[in-house]
Amino acid sequence: MMDFLDYLGRNYADIFAHTIEHMQLLGVSLTIAVLIGVPLGIYLTTNEQLASTVLQAASIILTIPSIALFGVMIPILSTIGQGIGFLPAVIALILYSQLPIIRNTYTAINNVDPNIRDAAKGIGMTTLQRLWKVEIPNGMPLIMAGVRTATVLSIGIGAIAAFIGSGGLGVLIDMGISRGNQNMVLAGAIAISILAIAADFGLKKIQVKFSPKGI
Amino acid sequence: MIEFTNVSKTYPGGVKAIDDVSLTIEHGEFVVLLGPSGCGKTTLLRMVNQLEDITEGSIAVEGKNIHDLNKIDMRREIGYVIQSNGLFPNMTIEENVMVVPNLLGWSKEKRAERFDYLMDLIGMPPENYRGSFPHELSGGQQQRIGVARALAADPPVMLMDEPFGALDPIIRSRIQEEFMDIQKKLKKTILFVSHDIDEAIKLADKIVLLKDGEIQQFDRPAELLNRPVNDFVSEFVGEDSVLKSLNLYQVKDLQATLDLPAVEGSPDGKVFHPHDSLRHVLAHLLHPSRQYVYVEGEDGTTNGPVSVEHIEAFVREITA
Ligand SMILES: Nc1ncnc2c1ncn2[C@@H]1O[C@H](COP(=O)(O)OP(=O)(O)OP(=O)(O)O)[C@@H](O)[C@H]1O
Ligand SMILES: [Mg+2]
């Protein structure tokens, strides 16, 4: 135990730097994942057939082990000289985030009370106005819940991405194992857990703030 | 004004919901669509604001064929109220009520002023509810807000689909009365769906009785009750139709039909006012201890006596 604290005392700057890296990876991948997943989820509510295909594809992606996904991406991205590093990690996290984000958005919009949708239509809102003023605000809690799931999922998978050189807290675990340094592994694992809990908590706050007061 | 000309509607599955309906609702008229479940009331109503397509025929609102109008624009000019009120849970009461003026780009001041006016109209103090959310209101209050929202941009035409259907009978009857007062002031052209004949009799200038998408009778409530055109109508209005219709007639109608002499001296029975309903008079007379009542004439005289036989004579007149 003293040993571990000692390790922390000497390496806190390094651990902090890896945490920042990890958050950068998450920040970039989640932003892009939301920008793709939310509009796609909304669009799918207008196309029943495409919806089941896309949701199925997203579920399949989620079942691919991350190591295998990285393995597949290395030769593909090598053609542009990016086989390992930040880019493949970001792409993997975007892919893994799609299912929770698309599915929750799709469900959120589809689950808006048909009477409310009917009223919105009947008083003369355009499709876009209905979406902005009624459907998205009322679906907000569910959409944000999807983003939260994606975030926590990404924090874990982001650690594995260290194997392909993405940086981040996974590096501590990776190096700790290969060097037989238990303190390093432990520091990485704890930092990842704290990050996951903090992110979930922070996003919950954001969810409450962004969700309209009346629902 | 709303005009239906040979309107039919067949749903994609093949159900013929409306069958060759022609109907004119005059300016300022309150018309109730009445009929059993599934007879096509909602369908007919929703064709007016183009929430349902018309299969055959045409509908004109304020003299313009709705087919030639922009759907979005025309819906903003027609008030729409539905049973489950359809208030937007994410918006405050003020935002809900002002949603159409907002879409129409009214200024903030004009909206605030209009909100205050409408809330006063429906009897809810604007300051108390401005920032509330729909879930904080009772069912009756939500329904009033639904009515206020439909009235917001002062549309000449209102479509109402069982707006008071979900309320308990006491609240319902109070809101019906409030709404009749509002209608007396505003004189909107109203198409109102109901499956409750008592509600229809109470509110309507005229009733459209539908069955399987076809009009059975389009008439004033008293006519529908007393002169049903076919078996379906007489069955629908029920065995107590005469009694129901007496609600619609007042003492002055009785006086107009029967020549009642003025009484000398003080009357030996209750004196009814010209605007009292004949149903009240009859209920009073049915008590074995009473034989006669008297009625107040237009010029302040007391006329009578009136007995059950007079009411019977009156009923013979109106059902003839
Ligand atoms: N979207 C739809 N698709 C297919 N059929 C429909 C649709 N909407 C209504 N119908 C059918 O059309 C007929 C008329 O329905 P409508 O909703 O107009 O009746 P209603 O008189 O309003 O009934 P209720 O009093 O139960 O509300 C019914 O037979 C119904 O099953
Ligand atoms: Mg209906």
Mutate to test the pocket of ligand 1, among B7, B19, B33, B42 (most ligand atoms within 8 A of CB): B42
Cβ contacts of B177 within 8 Å, gap of 6 or more: none
Tell me the average pLDDT across B256-284. 87
Using 50, 70 and 90 to split pLDDT, how confident is the model at B303? confident
Whether ligand 1 lies within 6 angstroms of the CB of B43 is answered as: yes
Q: In this prediction, what percent of chain B has a pLDDT beyond 70? A: 100
pLDDT at B256 over 90: no
Using the atom order of ligand 1, give the atom closest to the CA of residue B41: 21
Distance (Å) from the C-alpha of residue A207 to the closest C-alpha of chain B? 14
Residue ID of nearest Cα to ligand 1 atom 24: B37
pLDDT at B31: 98
What is the DSSP annotation of chain B? -EEEEEEEEE-TTS-EEEEEEEEEE-TT-EEEEE-STTSSHHHHHHHHTTSS--SEEEEEETTEEGGGS-HHHHHHTEEEEETT----TTS-HHHHHTHHHHHTT--HHHHHHHHHHHHHHTT--HHHHTT--GGGS-HHHHHHHHHHHHHTT--SEEEEESTTTTS-HHHHHHHHHHHHHHHHHH--EEEEEES-HHHHHHH-SEEEEEETTEEEEEE-HHHHHHS-SSHHHHHHH-TTHHHHHHTT-BHHHHHHHS-PPBPPS--SS-EE-TTSBHHHHHHHHTSTT---EEEE-TTS-EEEEE-HHHHHHHHHHHH-
- Give the architecture (CATH level 2) of A2-210: Orthogonal Bundle (1.10)
Distance (Å) from the C-alpha of residue A34 to the closest C-alpha of chain B? 22
Residue ID of nearest Cα to ligand 1 atom 30: B38
For B99, which of A123, A137, A138 is closest by C-beta distance? A123
Using 50, 70 and 90 to split pLDDT, how confident is the model at B243? confident
pLDDT at A91: 92
Q: Could you give the angle at which helices A2-44 and A136-160 cross, rounded to 10 degrees?
A: 140
Weakly modelled stretches of chain A, pLDDT under 50 = none
- Domains annotated for chain B, with CATH where assigned, are 2-238 (3.40.50.300), 249-319 (3.90.1280.20)
pLDDT at B204 over 90: yes
pLDDT at B150 over 90: yes
pLDDT at B114: 96
**How would you label B250-270 residue by residue, b for 16+ Cβ within 10 Å and e otherwise?**
bbbbbbeeeebeebeeebebe
pLDDT at B298 over 80: no
Q: Does B91 touch chain A (CB under 8 A)?
A: yes
Q: How far is the CA of B287 from the centre of ligand 1 (A)?
A: 46
B34 and B192 in contact (C-beta within 8 Å)?
Answer: no
Q: What is the pLDDT of residues B72-116, one digit of tens each?
A: 999 999 999 998 889 999 999 999 999 999 999 999 999 999 999
- Tokens found for residue B88: 């937007």
Q: Which residues in chain A belong to E strands, given as ranges?
A: none
Sheet holding B293-296, edge to edge: B271-272, B293-296, B302-306
Would you give the end-to-end CA distance of chain B in angstroms? Answer: 32
pLDDT at B176: 93
Domain assignments of chain A as residue spans, ordered by start: 2-210
Chain A residues with CB-CB distance to B161 below 8 A: none
pLDDT at A1: 72
**Is A123 in Cβ contact with B89 (below 8 Å)?**
no
Tell me the average pLDDT across B251-260. 87
